[in-house]
Amino acid sequence: MRNSGAIRLILRIACFLPLAAAPALTNWICAQPPVQRRMLGDLNPIFDALASGKPIWTNDDMRVLKEGWIARMPAGKDVLILGSSRGMEIADAWFQPRSAFNASVLTGDILDMISIFEECVETAQIPREVVLELNPSLMRDVKSDDPGPFAPYFRRALERYRLLPSLRFFAGYYSFKQVRRNAERFLIPGQRYWTERIPNSYPVLPDGSARPTPEKAMATLETFDPTPVSKGGHLANEIYHWRTTSQPGEWELNLFRRFLDDLQTRAIRITVLLAPVHPVAYDYYAKRGGYDETWIRREMASRKILVVGSYSPAITRAARSDFYDDVHPRAHVVRRLLTEAGVIGPER
């Protein structure tokens, strides 16, 4: 009798297993590139505009755009730029006569870099040089909420590196919030790319680089107060953590080293870019543990990899007026740093 009762209990629990698996399955399906593109609608007019040399406008993080864009490229570029919004303004023209493609995405981190490079490997578009715009913690704390179109590439990269994914990558697949978001995107595809400017959007150029919104481009930061950040302010806790953490976890650091090994065994020239932070913001974040580049410089020195720039505005001679906000330097600052390091030629 006791055995039969236990069996009935197990069977009842088993009935709920499909329900428990449904969010993970739904989110996994919606993360696949074809489904991601379906949720955005037809992107062919956008790709056609870029191919003809015209800019497009977006309010998206550009992961879907750049995944599809790389897949459509007839040939790889000499230089691949990987990073976040802090490296988005790096332009192909800076590297002439070499060709370059800026694959940076909003909130980009090492996961995105590895995934994008994996797509280049699988499409036989391996670059000769790579510029990595890094944050010292390497990977954002909340990364699995919306895996996006790069998830399959990242999984295959882990297989090549013979690494098992961190358990936190599975948490987001069980998010009911993400299920609702995916359902809204799939049932009512929202356009996030346009061939004409619309309010609250920013231009993306044919070389993959992006400019800030016109409103932000005109902003000045002669005065800046980062104090509201510590009280929640306009920054989410995850972003605050990202900017006040300078040491990656053991798994993230091991992953990064495998990535560097992958690049170096292919004889790809690597440049690590440390973009400076607004003077007041740097002082604020550094006192709370952020933007310490010690381990990066030590690691790169051991591999003979060039490090360009610094998070410190004093070291990079960056003034308050050289920033759009607390962490985004203007394009001329980044160009000057790359020029002084000999990565690109002088401006003509």
pLDDT, tens digit, for every residue of 66-99? 998 999 888 889 999 999 999 999 999 999 999 9
DSSP 342: T
Domain spans of the chain? 24-340
- CB-neighbour burial class of residue 285 (10 A; exposed 0-12, middle 13-18, buried 19+): buried
Average pLDDT of span 136-155:
75
Q: What is the pTM of this model?
A: 0.82
Distance CA 129, CA 126 (A): 9
Q: Give phi and psi for 219, each to the nearest 5.
A: -70, 150
Q: Are the beta carbons of 73 and 90 closer than 8 angstroms?
A: no
pLDDT at 108: 93
- Each residue of 312-335: pLDDT tens digit? 999 999 998 899 888 999 999 999
Kindly report which listed range (149-158, 184-193, 336-345) carries the lowest average pLDDT score. 184-193
pLDDT at 233: 45
b vs e for 101-118, b when ≥16 Cβ sit within 10 Å of the residue's Cβ?
bbbbbbebbbbbbbbbbb
Whether residue 252 has pLDDT greater than 90:
yes
Output 213 or 305, whichever has higher pLDDT: 305
Output 267 or 63, whichever has higher pLDDT: 267
Report the SS3 class of residue 180: helix
pLDDT at 192: 82
Question: DSSP labels for 218-242?
Answer: T---SS---GGGGGSTTS-HHHHHH
Task: List helix spans (H) across the chain.
Answer: 2-15, 17-30, 33-40, 44-51, 63-72, 110-122, 151-161, 168-171, 176-187, 214-217, 237-243, 250-265, 279-287, 294-303, 313-316, 331-340
Output 180 or 335, whichever has higher pLDDT: 335
Distance CA 6, CA 11 (A): 9
pLDDT at 229: 47
Whether residue 6 has pLDDT greater than 90:
no
pLDDT at 145: 43
